[in-house]
Amino acid sequence: MKPEKYRINHLLHPIRQEVSEGFIYTHSRLNANTNKTLEASAFLYALVELLDEKGVIGIEELDERKRSVGQRLIEQLRQSSNGVILQDLEVDKYEFEQEVAIDCENRVHLCKAACCRLPFALSKQDIREGVIHWELGRPYLIDQGADGLCSHLDRDTMSCNVHAHRPVPCRGFDCRKDRGIWLDFENRIANPAVEQPDWLYRLEAKEKMDSAS
Q: Which residues lie below 8 Å from residue 159, measured CB to CB, with a gap of 6+? A: 105, 153
For the cut 50, the answer to whether the pLDDT of residue 5 exceeds it is: no
pLDDT at 82: 52
> pTM, whole model, 2 decimals?
0.60
pLDDT digits (tens, 9 = 90+) for 65-89: 777 777 777 666 555 555 566 777 7
Euclidean distance between CA atoms 183 and 169, whole angstroms: 22
pLDDT at 79: 58
pLDDT-based confidence at residue 112 (cuts at 50, 70, 90): very high
Using left for φ > 0, alpha for ψ between -120 and 50, and beta otherwise, residue 192 falls in: alpha
> Do 66 and 42 meet the contact criterion of CB atoms below 8 Å apart?
yes
